[in-house]
Structure 1
């Protein structure tokens, strides 16, 4: 599930590729959540987990401080904050776009 799901999200985030760690974390949290049986739809569960737990902001911030993002140098506070905001905005838009596929949350009957 996670490779195809990540590919779909990455297709919506061309400027700031979606974090595979974020997808893996959301999937892990869904799989370990006793309330995850409320739907059969794993992508929907992961997307809502990302939003409900504000995982996007946390991963955007963590990624913005990595030296790999800055050609090996330490970014300034302002640089890291700005990059985190770009990640967060684009990733949130991608998640919101995917969630629009379900006008009503898919539920287990």
Structure 2
């Protein structure tokens, strides 16, 4: 019976630690959102932009700050066995 009680205490401790981490992450997200909204309000006050202009600016700022969802396409590398023939040049003979 003592082992069961110890397992329950360990489980509750793990749940508490996880809960604190989730609450902290949520708090950081709320704080970042508040800073962003405050900055946007300051921009609106300084520029006296219309609501439509501010909506466009807000959307552009969010797009710029959003992380990429996919990796950029990679450039294909030529294989090391491929070589350009020595007799061909990149420029046409008329340009020389």
TM-score, scaled relative to structure 2: 0.31
Considering only CA atoms, is the larger Rg found in Structure 1 or Structure 2? 2
Higher helix share: 1
TM-score, scaled relative to structure 1: 0.29
Kindly indicate whether structure 1 or structure 2 has the higher relative contact order, using CA contacts under 8 Å at least 6 residues apart.
Answer: 1
